[in-house]
Structure formats: structure tokens, C-alpha cells
Amino acid sequence: MKKPPTPRKRASAKEADPQKVKKAFVLDTSVILYDHSAVEHFGEHDVAIPITVLEELDNFKKGNDIKNFEAREFIRFIDNLSNEHMLQTWLPLEGSNKGRFKVLMSHTAPVDAEKIFSDNKADHKILNATLALQQEMPDHKVVLVTKDINLRLKARALNLSAEDYETGKIQNVTNLYRGNDLVEDIPHPVITKLYDEGECPVEEALPNPPSDNHYFILRSTKSSALAYYNPEQRVLERVDKLTAVGIKPRNAEQTFALHAILHPEIKLVSIQGVAGTGKTLLALAGALEQRDTYNQIYLARPIVPLSNRDLGFLPGDANSKIGPYMEPLWDNLKFIQNQFTPHSKESNKIKEMVEEERLVITPLAYIRGRSLSNIIFIVDEAQNLTPHEVKTIISRAGQNTKIIFTGDIYQIDTPYLDSQSNGLSYLIDKAKNHKLYAHVTLQKGERSELANLANDLL
């Protein structure tokens, strides 16, 4: 009779806990340009950067873009950290429960990535530095951290652990806050009260209080109503279909978005939706409707150059270079103007606002560093911003300022960002349930039947 197999020895709690494993993280340039404070976000583990990263950052230190700011801030951080010490030795990071930091110089790696991939690229030098550290620290798990997917694949091909930079990343965008919901089986007296009195106590309609400034389509067996949760009064208020400079919402979600844009107590708005859902048009129309409330209207968008090449390679002066990127914003303004006859009072007012620079359409880079007081500020294509860029913009808000972010979190044009790590997703996740903030997700395309066909079938 065969002897039963000996049970495998169960690993101890210490062995099973991956948090107890000593780790050393190597950061590449893309991580630093995404977040200059990344070195401080790895807890008690050691963090290093190859000397090649410092060389690459030197190319980014000049300019007004956010990546130039990140490069400069990181260089200052390293300068303060090193002070009178050498960067080739491990330096303790400031703060409790922090690891160490150092710069990896050129070392001979057991495997030469430059020979394997037949190219003398900076990425391959970073791989060699990581391989050398792995050999130098056999008691540590060495991990390359990069937002470059291809570099992660190359690292894994060399038997290196490689990860994305997770700080500020939303884990599940499928469950990202939508800002509006359909609620069925609402008692009919609630709908009646909303129409007769304009509001009703939230507990009469919903079992639990919703998020601040949340929107609802409420349906009973006989009728329906659009409603909004007022966090100050703690009641549901009826939402009416409003018109802004001739633009009328075409569905419930657009009605919610325009309500949030026009609401004086809501100072921060985000609108998420695919192309053709009317995000930018509603934001601009709502801003123009409030032209007497704010001194200026700024409509800006981040510029993502063709093939990620700098704008300098384009011919012409600054306006000629940025013109093509701003054209979609002008298209929306022209659409609004076309709601009126060419020489009507409303059309002339819009022209005057542009001429007097009370309505300014500009690249986002031209806005950074300014104090934003008494303006309504629309940031289009916000999915192409990093979380830090979004934070920087909002932190510039002064008295009587409203900021509106629009975009599609699934339409990313910026390298190293995705639906989970972009600034718009980050804002929606972090700002929900705040009385100054409202978010609306637009789902139905209203541009044309042909545009809807493209979104639905292609």
C-alpha cells in the first residue's frame, strides 16, 4: 500500500506576508514627470533612480508645461536631500517609516539590455541599472516602476519585476461615481409634491441620504420627475429644463449638467462623456449665460502635440502653432452664435466679449501660474491632465470663481496616462460627496444620428 503524500509545510505568517519582504524600487523618468514627489510614496522601502533619469530630466527643466514644473521640483528635492552627502550612497528619506534613496550610477549588469535590444537608448540604460541593483541587493525584491508599458514588458523579458506607478490611480473605473441615477418605484405623492411645491424631504423618496449635489430621474407608476439633492437644505429639489444662450438640453443628463453649471453654490463641476454628448457646448453655453456674474470666461484645453513632438517644430508664430488645437472650442462658440441672427443683440454681445477679451480661448499652459478670481474657467479634454495638474488648477481658484472640467476618461491622448490614472478620473473619485462639487455623466450622444452610429457600432 502506497504511503500517503507528506503534506506540504505551510508557510509561516512572516513568510506569507508579502509586506514583510524587503523591496527596492527603481523609478524611471515617466514616473518623475507624472509626480515629482513619487520617491516619498513607497513607505519603508528603498527607492532609487538611475543616473540616466537625471540626464533626461535635464532636458525637461526649461519650459512652462507641467512636466517642466515636475522636473524642476524633483531636481530641487534631490538637491535638498543630498545637501552635503554623496548621492551614490543610500540616504535616509525624511519622515517616519521611510526608506532610503540613492542615484544608481553606471554598473555592469549580468545581462546587457543594450546588446539584447540592439539599441543605445536611455530606457535600456535604465534596465541595466535595475539589473545591476538586483545583483547588488540579492536580499531585496527589486522592482522597476514605470508608466511606460513597453518598458515594463522589456523588463519582464529580462526577468525583472516591473509595475505601474499606482499612487493616484483609480482601481476600478467601471464603478466610478456617475453623479446621476434612475430610481424606479417612487411613491406617486413624492412626484406630485415635487411638481406642486418644487421640493420634498429626501427621506420620503430615498431610504438613505445620497451624495451631495446628486441628480435623479425619479419614476413612479404614473409619472416621473428630475430631481437634485440639495446638501444645505437636505431636500430633493425639482430640476427644470433651462435654456442657456439658445442652447436647450436634449435629455435628462444634459439637463442635470446645465443645472450644475448654472447653480451659484456649486463651484466645481465635472462632466464626463463620449464624443458628441455635448460636454463642451453645455459648459460654454452655461458660462455665457452667466456673463454678468463673472468678469471673464476662460476656455482652455491641454495641448497634446502630434506624435508627442513639441509645438516648436510647427511653422508660424505662437498663435499659428496653437490654432489647430483650439479650433474645436471655436466651433462650439460658432454653434452658439448661429442660434441667433448675425446682427442680433445676443450675437453682438458674444463678439464684443471676444474682442474685449472677456471670453478667452487659450491653451492651458498659458493659464498656469495665474490667480483665477471672478472668472468661470472651463477646462476641456481634462482626461489628458495628470491628477497633480488638476489639483494645481483648482488650487488657483480665488473669490467668485467657478471651474468646469469636461472630458472622456476613455479617450486618452497623453502618453503614460490611462482611464485609471488621468486627472479627470481622480477628480471624480476624490471630490464626490462635497457640497461645492457636482458631477454628471453624459451617456447619450446628441451630435447627430451618424455620430451615434460611430459611437455605437464602430
Provide the CB-side half-sphere exposure for 280 (13 A, CA). Answer: 25
CB-CB contact of 39 with 82 (8 Å): no
Q: Which residues of the chain have pLDDT under 70?
A: 1-19, 304-325, 368-369, 446-448, 451-452, 455, 458
pLDDT at 313: 45
> What's phi and psi for 258, nearest 5 deg?
-70, -35
pLDDT at 17: 52
Grid cell 411613491 in the structure block, residue = 187
CB-CB contact of 129 with 50 (8 Å): yes
pLDDT at 455: 67
- d(C-alpha 138, C-alpha 9), whole Å: 25
Q: List Cα–Cα distances, 354 to 31, 298, 323, 329, 346, in angstroms.
A: 39, 11, 15, 13, 13
Bin 452: left if φ > 0, else alpha if -120 < ψ < 50, else beta: alpha
Largest CA distance in the chain: 102
pLDDT at 250: 92
pLDDT at 446: 65
pLDDT in tens, 416-448: 899 999 999 999 999 999 999 999 999 877 666
Q: List Cα–Cα distances, 419 to 97, 114, 151, 172, 408, in angstroms.
A: 31, 32, 19, 9, 9
pLDDT at 297: 92
pLDDT at 161: 96
pLDDT at 81: 87
CB-CB contact of 103 with 50 (8 Å): yes
Bin 4: left if φ > 0, else alpha if -120 < ψ < 50, else beta: beta
In this prediction the pTM is 0.83
Question: Could you give the 3-state DSSP secondary structure of residue 272?
Answer: strand
pLDDT at 96: 86
Helix boundaries (H) for 272-368: 279-289, 318-337, 345-355
